[in-house]
């Protein structure tokens, strides 16, 4: 094996150094007055205490998982105990990525608010620096863990006498299993926390008591701001960490199936290492792109972010051409077909095109000035029609992305077989560092706005943070499009990896059992979403009751009497308990079902394959449906801020149609931030679990 591989961890370490430099710079910025620091302190403390509670549960889960993996290994008798090391490394790095992101976010938020006192450009600098620390950390930790473990395992097992590359990748897959497990729990737990607080705060505060968002009199308001950090930052960090790793591993596994010339630099493993190099390339250009995100005072924030984002994508795409042609042999075989480097590069381009198109479609269905959101607004004369408008928009918005995905799958498969599909996904995810930086800066800006409001800072501060927040909403929607598209392609690649490990040559849906598996699989995303939404609904109800109770029993609170403070802690605890309780069953479903189906006599690998196909298609649809419905409702509500025309009359905030739109937005909250984004992780995690147990199933069958 060539020493060239050491470049990859080296790049990761340099990238981590860059994040340290950035976070030092953030910490050095002025952190505002006492009141601001006090509030920011509440938020940071709440976030840390939630993550501690969450990680305690996750530690127990990891313990159980380690036992299960040990049993599985004992059954298999292949002695692949290092999969446990991979699992734990993946889990710990994923949790660390989330924690680190949350820590820097809770420092950047108050400093962004302080900077917004004087300058939009500086506020963007700080909030985006916070996002960058998060994004680059996630990507660097992911690739660092993967590449180091890969090098270690390669030196142990790489020799064909030791099981060769197949064994290396089997053991390495545990890394993704650990990362995706944590991602699922963190996404669902964080999602429940944030939406229970958000929905609860809005329902009593804005709707009933008539006090503005983020008003310090509202007892749920700190929980709401904590939620932004544990859900939208830490949850999303773990989510993208898992997605990123799963995509790279899936491509590596399929790369092992390429039959190439063993005299190359990497002794025939060119297809396996390509995804790692591609990721490293994307990391470098994500850092480069982050320097492009600058505005002049009162410049256009969206344009700056687009420049950074598109810059890093285009640079990565161009560089990948040279990487692929240099790395891959001029011809190689897969499944009886012969491919060349150009086809693989073509697959990268297909992946980027699919991601871009799905993002554009997402933007169309969720942004404020387009037909779909305008139609929801015009249907807001009553609450029921607003709700029906949002639901139907979400459902209809599945059509175009699914069509693009289907074409993308067929095209990338035609170019370079299943490896092509996996590489398309890997290309799409290569600039995860930048994607996540753009995603994570939104909640930081949102938090900064909350702190500004609660500290009673002048109106223009909030206006500046609102500009950043609004841009953040759009980029978040676009990021979701990317995430869904890549998850679909990755699942397909994992599906193929599963078949290979299980020794299946086909999965025939005309087999009654496989069809039954397909049906059960397709049901799981519905069940999973229901559990997540129900948890939010219950917790939000409890929050509403608690806030009402405080308004009733704490004298002078609602009147804003000086010195009277609400009991923020109880609200944080309600969200925490709901999140911890609510994440366990959905998480267990995702992990246990594939194992049960796979090992039940009479079912087995082919039925499990049907189940995975069902989960994947239905999960993709439910992801798009829920995310876009939620996004569209959100922006339908926001449209009222500038006034909207319905049947010739103009309505503003506070009007009846606006109230209807607020209800729609509240319904959409758990859709777009709890259940919707969990779908991506669900479909990948179930596939990875299946990959992990595939050989054991095959040997037992």
Tokens 């800066």 label which residue? Answer: 441
Query: Which residues between 622 and 651 bind a second copy (CB under 8 A)?
Result: 625, 647
Query: Which residues between 361 and 400 bind a second copy (CB under 8 A)?
Result: 378-379, 381-385, 387-389, 391-396, 398-399
Smallest gap from Cβ 385 to a second copy, in A, equals 5
For residue 508, give every residue at least 6 positions away whose Cβ sits within 8 Å of its Cβ, in sequence order, or none.
514, 606
Residues paired with residue 58 on neighbouring β-strands, in sequence order? none
- Of the candidate spans 166-174, 184-192, 572-580, 661-669, the one that interacts with a second copy by CB under 8 A turns out to be 661-669
Query: Which residues between 324 and 363 bind a second copy (CB under 8 A)?
Result: none
Nearer to a second copy, 18 or 633 (CB): 633
- Of the candidate spans 20-28, 263-271, 357-365, 620-628, the one that interacts with a second copy by CB under 8 A turns out to be 620-628
- Of the candidate spans 31-39, 253-261, 265-273, 407-415, the one that interacts with a second copy by CB under 8 A turns out to be 407-415
For residue 589, give every residue at least 6 positions away whose Cβ sits within 8 Å of its Cβ, in sequence order, or none.
524, 527, 528, 531
SS (H, E, C) 597-632: HHHCCCCCHHHHHHHHHHHHHHHHHHHHHHHHHHHH
| Alpha carbons 287 and 295: distance in angstroms, whole number | 17
Q: How many residues bind a second copy (CB under 8 A)?
A: 80
| Alpha carbons 39 and 163: distance in angstroms, whole number | 56
- Among left, alpha and beta (phi > 0; psi -120 to 50; other), residue 297 is beta
In this structure, what DSSP letter does residue 211 have? Answer: P
Rounding to the nearest 10 degrees, give the CA dihedral for residues 292, 295, 299, 300. Answer: 30
Nearer to a second copy, 171 or 203 (CB): 203
Query: Which residues between 463 and 492 bind a second copy (CB under 8 A)?
Result: 488, 492
Nearer to a second copy, 100 or 672 (CB): 672
Q: Contact, 153 vs 93, CB < 8 A?
A: no
φ, ψ at 68 (rounded to 5°): -60, -40
Beta strand pairing call for 332-334 and 644-646: unpaired
Query: Which residues between 197 and 256 bind a second copy (CB under 8 A)?
Result: 199, 203, 207
Which one of residues 101, 479, 670, 677 is an interface residue with a second copy (CB under 8 A)?
670
Residues paired with residue 646 on neighbouring β-strands, in sequence order? 649
Question: Coil, helix or strand for 646?
Answer: strand
Token pair of 300 as six digits: 């256009």
Closest listed residue to residue 320, CA positions, set 347, 296, 288: 347
- Of the candidate spans 51-59, 239-247, 273-281, 541-549, the one that interacts with a second copy by CB under 8 A turns out to be 541-549
Nearer to a second copy, 647 or 650 (CB): 647
Asked if 666 is part of the footprint of a second copy (rule: CB under 8 A), the reply reads: yes
Nearer to a second copy, 198 or 239 (CB): 198
Question: Coil, helix or strand for 650?
Answer: strand
What are the distances in angstroms from CA 515 to CA 424, 479, 506, 507, 653? 29, 33, 14, 10, 50
Which one of residues 168, 279, 348, 533 is an interface residue with a second copy (CB under 8 A)?
533
Asked if 495 is part of the footprint of a second copy (rule: CB under 8 A), the reply reads: yes
Question: For residue 94, how far is the Cα from the chain centroid?
Answer: 12
Asked if 570 is part of the footprint of a second copy (rule: CB under 8 A), the reply reads: no
Asked if 517 is part of the footprint of a second copy (rule: CB under 8 A), the reply reads: yes
- Of the candidate spans 27-35, 124-132, 556-564, 614-622, the one that interacts with a second copy by CB under 8 A turns out to be 614-622
Length of the chain: 701
R_g (Cα) of the chain, nearest Å: 24
Which one of residues 133, 186, 531, 578 is an interface residue with a second copy (CB under 8 A)?
531
Nearer to a second copy, 292 or 523 (CB): 523
Asked if 418 is part of the footprint of a second copy (rule: CB under 8 A), the reply reads: yes
Nearer to a second copy, 432 or 695 (CB): 695
Q: Sign of torsion, CA 264 269 270 276?
A: negative
Q: Sign of torsion, CA 682 688 694 697?
A: negative
Which one of residues 27, 530, 564, 596 is an interface residue with a second copy (CB under 8 A)?
530
- Of the candidate spans 88-96, 109-117, 131-139, 664-672, the one that interacts with a second copy by CB under 8 A turns out to be 664-672
Asked if 276 is part of the footprint of a second copy (rule: CB under 8 A), the reply reads: no
Smallest gap from Cβ 650 to a second copy, in A, equals 17
CB-based burial of residue 47 (10 Å sphere; 0-12 exposed, 13-18 middle, 19+ buried)? buried
Nearer to a second copy, 158 or 408 (CB): 408
| Alpha carbons 469 and 471: distance in angstroms, whole number | 5
Token pair of 677 as six digits: 């984004």
Site string for a second copy, 118-157 (x = CB under 8 A): ----------------------------------------
Which one of residues 162, 506, 600, 699 is an interface residue with a second copy (CB under 8 A)?
506
Asked if 416 is part of the footprint of a second copy (rule: CB under 8 A), the reply reads: no
Query: Which residues between 60 and 119 bind a second copy (CB under 8 A)?
Result: none
Which one of residues 334, 618, 635, 695 is an interface residue with a second copy (CB under 8 A)?
618
């Amino acid at each position: 094996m060539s020493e060239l591989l050491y470049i990859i961890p080296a790049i990761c370490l340099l990238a981590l150094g860059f994040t340290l430099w950035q976070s030092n710079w953030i910490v050095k910025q002025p952190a505002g007055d006492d009141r601001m620091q006090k509030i920011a302190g509440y938020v940071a403390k709440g976030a840390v205490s939630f993550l501690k509670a969450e990680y305690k549960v996750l530690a127990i889960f990891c313990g159980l998982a380690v036992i299960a993996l040990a049993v599985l290994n004992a059954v298999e008798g292949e002695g692949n105990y290092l999969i446990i090391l991979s699992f734990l490394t993946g889990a710990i790095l994923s949790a660390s990525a989330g924690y680190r992101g949350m820590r820097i976010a809770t420092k950047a938020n108050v400093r962004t608010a302080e900077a917004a006192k004087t300058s939009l450009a500086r506020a963007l600098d700080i909030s985006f620096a916070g996002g960058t620390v998060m994004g680059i950390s996630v990507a660097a930790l992911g690739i660092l863990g993967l590449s180091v473990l890969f090098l270690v395992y390669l030196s142990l097992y790489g020799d064909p006498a030791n099981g060769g590359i197949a064994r290396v990748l089997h053991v390495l897959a545990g890394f993704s299993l650990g990362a995706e497990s944590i991602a699922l729990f963190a996404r669902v737990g964080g999602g429940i926390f944030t939406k229970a607080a958000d929905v609860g705060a809005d329902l009593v505060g804005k709707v009933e008591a008539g006090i503005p968002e983020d008003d310090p009199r509202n007892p749920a308001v700190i929980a709401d701001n904590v939620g932004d950090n544990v859900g939208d930052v830490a949850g999303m960090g773990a989510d993208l960490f898992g997605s990123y790793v799963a995509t790279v591993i899936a491509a590596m596994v399929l790369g092992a199936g390429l039959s190439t010339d063993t005299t190359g630099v990497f002794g025939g493993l060119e297809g396996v290492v390509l995804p790692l190099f591609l990721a490293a390339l994307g990391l470098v250009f994500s850092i480069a792109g982050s320097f492009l995100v600058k505005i002049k005072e009162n410049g256009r924030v969206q344009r700056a972010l687009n420049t950074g984002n598109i810059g890093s994508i285009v640079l990565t795409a161009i560089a990948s051409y040279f990487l692929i042609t240099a790395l891959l042999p001029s011809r190689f075989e897969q499944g009886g077909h012969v491919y060349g480097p150009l086809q693989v590069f073509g697959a990268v381009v297909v992946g980027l095109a699919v991601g871009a198109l799905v993002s554009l479609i997402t933007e169309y269905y969720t942004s404020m000035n387009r037909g779909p959101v305008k139609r929801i607004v015009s249907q807001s004369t009553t609450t029921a029609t607003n709700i029906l408008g949002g639901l139907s928009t979400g459902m209809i918005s599945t059509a175009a992305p699914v069509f693009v995905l289907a074409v993308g799958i067929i095209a990338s498969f035609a170019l370079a077989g299943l490896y092509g599909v996996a590489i398309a996904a890997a290309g799409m995810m290569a600039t995860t560092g930048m994607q996540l930086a753009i995603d994570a800066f939104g909640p930081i800006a949102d938090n900064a706005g909350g702190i500004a409001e609660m500290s009673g800072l002048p109106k223009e501060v909030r206006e500046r943070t609102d500009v950043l927040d609004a841009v953040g909403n759009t980029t978040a929607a676009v990021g979701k499009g990317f995430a869904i598209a890549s998850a679909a392609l990755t699942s397909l690649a994992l599906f193929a990896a599963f078949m290979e490990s299980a020794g299946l040559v086909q999965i025939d849906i005309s087999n009654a059992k496989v069809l039954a598996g397909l049906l059960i699989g397709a049901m799981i995303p519905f069940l999973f979403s229901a559990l997540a939404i129900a948890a939010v609904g219950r917790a939000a109800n409890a929050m509403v009751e608690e806030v009402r109770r405080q308004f009733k029993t704490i004298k002078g609170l609602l009147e804003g009497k000086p010195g009277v403070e609400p009991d923020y802690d109880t609200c944080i605890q309600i969200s925490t308990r709901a999140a911890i309780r609510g994440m366990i069953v959905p998480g267990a479903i995702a992990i246990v079902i594939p194992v049960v189906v796979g090992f039940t006599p009479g079912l087995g690998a082919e039925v499990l394959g049907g189940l995975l196909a069902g989960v994947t298609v239905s999960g993709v649809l439910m992801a798009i449906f829920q995310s876009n419905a939620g996004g569209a409702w959100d922006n339908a509500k926001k449209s009222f801020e500038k006034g909207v025309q319905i049947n010739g009359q103009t309505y503003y905030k506070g009007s009846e149609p606006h109230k209807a739109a607020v209800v729609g937005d509240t319904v959409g909250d758990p859709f777009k931030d709890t259940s919707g984004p969990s779908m991506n992780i669900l479909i990948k995690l179930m596939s990875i679990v299946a990959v992990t147990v595939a050989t054991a199933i095959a040997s037992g069958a």
